[in-house]
């Protein structure tokens, strides 16, 4: 029986030593990795060679950096040879030059002489006519009973030359 217990004791001692060796090797590898990381991240950012030694392994890391500088010329002092052209009649910019039309942000119809514009997600709509340099509201003749929605006289629309594509979008007075 004493032989068996001695063997067990010897096996336990061997297993303990093996565990210590594995832990030691693992710890050495961790220290080496940390040293390499610290060495690679440290330095002045310029060129150089850094070495880390853990007692059994030597590693060399070379860090190189390149700086490129670009100069953008300043053209702000040079005058624009041609000023911006007058905006086209069929643009929000052109429409917004008319007082009271700043809230309109959707062009529904425009042919250069007539425009229908509105404010997004509302029933705020306006019909306008181009005078040559600005938009002027084309006022309705009346409102519909019950709803109060603007309406136009069919004869007046035709007499004023409102195009059929815009006329089709307007409510006629009864």
In a domain, 123, yes or no: yes
In a domain, 83, yes or no: no
pLDDT tens-digit map of 56-112:
555 555 555 555 555 555 555 555 566 555 558 999 999 999 999 999 999 999 999
Cβ atoms of 58 and 83 within 8 Å: the answer is no
Cβ atoms of 115 and 96 within 8 Å: the answer is no
Identify whether residues 97 and 163 lie together within a single domain. yes
Question: Which residues span the domain enclosing 112?
Answer: 92-167
Would you call 26 exposed, middle or buried from its count of C-beta atoms within 10 A (0-12, 13-18, 19+)? Answer: exposed
3-class state of residue 167 by DSSP: helix
Distance CA 112, CA 91 (A): 10
Cβ atoms of 128 and 117 within 8 Å: the answer is yes
pLDDT tens-digit map of 39-53:
444 444 444 444 444
* pTM check: above 0.75: no
Identify whether residues 19 and 57 lie together within a single domain. yes
Type and span of the H or E element at 135: strand 135-137
Tell me the two tokens of residue 12. Answer: 């336990």
In a domain, 109, yes or no: yes
Identify whether residues 98 and 58 lie together within a single domain. no
Identify whether residues 102 and 58 lie together within a single domain. no
In a domain, 19, yes or no: yes
């Amino acid at each position: 029986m004493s032989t068996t217990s001695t063997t067990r004791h010897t096996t336990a001692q061997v297993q303990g030593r093996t565990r210590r060796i594995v832990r030691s090797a693992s710890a050495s590898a961790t220290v080496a990795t940390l040293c390499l990381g610290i060495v690679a991240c440290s330095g002045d950012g310029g060129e150089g060679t850094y070495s880390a030694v853990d007692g059994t392994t030597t590693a060399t890391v070379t860090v190189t950096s390149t700086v490129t500088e670009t100069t953008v010329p300043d053209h702000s002092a040079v005058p624009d040879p041609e000023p911006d052209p007058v905006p086209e009649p069929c643009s929000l910019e052109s429409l917004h030059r008319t007082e009271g039309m700043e809230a309109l942000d959707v062009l529904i119809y425009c042919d250069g002489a007539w425009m229908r514009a509105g404010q997004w997600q509302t029933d705020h709509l306006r019909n306008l006519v181009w005078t040559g340099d600005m938009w002027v509201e084309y006022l309705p003749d009346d409102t519909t009973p019950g709803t109060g929605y603007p309406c136009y006289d069919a004869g007046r629309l035709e007499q004023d030359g409102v195009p059929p594509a815009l006329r089709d979008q307007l409510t006629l007075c009864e």
